[in-house]
Amino acid sequence: MDIGVLLPTGKAQWGADGDPRDLVAFGIEAERSGFSSLFVNDSLISPRIEALTMLAALAPATERVTLGTGALLPFLRRPVQVAQSLASIDLLSGGRLAVAVGAGFPGRFGRPFYTLSEVPWAHRFARLDETVALWRALWAGATSFHGEILRYDDLPAATRPYRADGPPIWLGGATPAALDRTGRLYDGWLPYPPAPSDYASGLLSVRKAAADSGRLAEQITPALFVSVRVGESPRGSLDDYARANYGMPLAELEKIQAVVSGSAEQILDGLGRYVAAGARHLVIRLAALDLRSQHDQLERIAALIPDLQALDTTPL
């Protein structure tokens, strides 16, 4: 059972007086507090520290934690360039990188990014899968690549990652098509379904797709992205967080994303329902809007790590 934390790389999480240079120290504190992974998200929706830059800064400053993206949007960057960056981070971290990817979705978090990146919205899922296939081919030493969208006849020698087969690549998303693609093509699943029952049914679909493709369920990491706020009567703070980060009230956010809040006992119960549904790597986003509050929430959740790990009592 892995318990990870999403670093507050967005300006909305620093607070008016926050210093983003504290983020490396935040990551070190999380590692020392018992978290097993540090994740960063990727977006153009608000000012933030760029995801791969943040991971490169964390690589030499940490020793054992997994460094992950939740989720990286490959269409924002040139695909060969990203393969080089990811391999470099994997090397600098000694093989501790995990790359969750996504294609974006309609609305303010998706289509406008494609316009800014000068990449067509159409066939975005095929583009994502081909980009990942290209990375893997480059890391294996390929000198050419011919997909339906991406085609290269003369690829230069690429930087090889720390691990011979490269970092594991997970997929975010929970549509039927995403579940099928996760089972067939990816090394992990990082969704944020608002109900544990949705997680359980999605994981069954992922594993069926894997079995149909001749893969083992154990090859796919079942992860969960979840926003958490520890404390008594947290609804007001959570609503402020939802409006600042997503531009919507908490009641709307809870319809589309996993949110767990309340006392320590309520947090254990809420997250425990997802563990019972099959999640084995929790990526916790701290629902706080300044670095002081982020540190406080980090400490509160760190105190729960032994109890959270104890929830994983049966293999799936």
pLDDT, tens only, 275-306: 999 999 999 999 999 999 999 999 999 999 99
Where in the sequence is the domain holding 305, given as residue range(s)?
Answer: 2-310
Is 182 part of any domain? yes
Separation CA 214–CA 226 (nearest Å)? 30
Peptide bond preceding 122 in cis form (omega within 30 of 0): no
Note the pLDDT of residue 108: 62
Is 220 part of any domain? yes
Separation CA 77–CA 190 (nearest Å)? 21
Separation CA 237–CA 205 (nearest Å)? 35
Tell the burial category of 110 from Cβ atoms under 10 Å away from its Cβ (0-12, 13-18, 19+).
middle
pLDDT, tens only, 118-172: 888 899 999 999 999 999 999 999 999 999 999 999 999 999 999 999 999 999 9
Note the pLDDT of residue 46: 75
Q: Indicate if the pLDDT at residue 273 is higher than 80.
A: yes
Q: What domain count does the chain have?
A: 1
Separation CA 73–CA 15 (nearest Å)? 25
Note the pLDDT of residue 106: 61
Is 44 part of any domain? yes
Q: Are 202 and 179 in contact (CB under 8 A)?
A: yes
Is 62 part of any domain? yes
Is 315 part of any domain? no
Is 31 part of any domain? yes
pLDDT, tens only, 222-241: 999 999 999 977 788 899 99
Mean pLDDT of 197-214: 98
Non-local CB neighbours of 254 within 8 Å, separated by 6+ positions: 194
The model carries a pTM of 0.95
CATH number at residue 69: 3.20.20.30
Mean pLDDT of 210-215: 97
Note the pLDDT of residue 40: 98
Is 163 part of any domain? yes
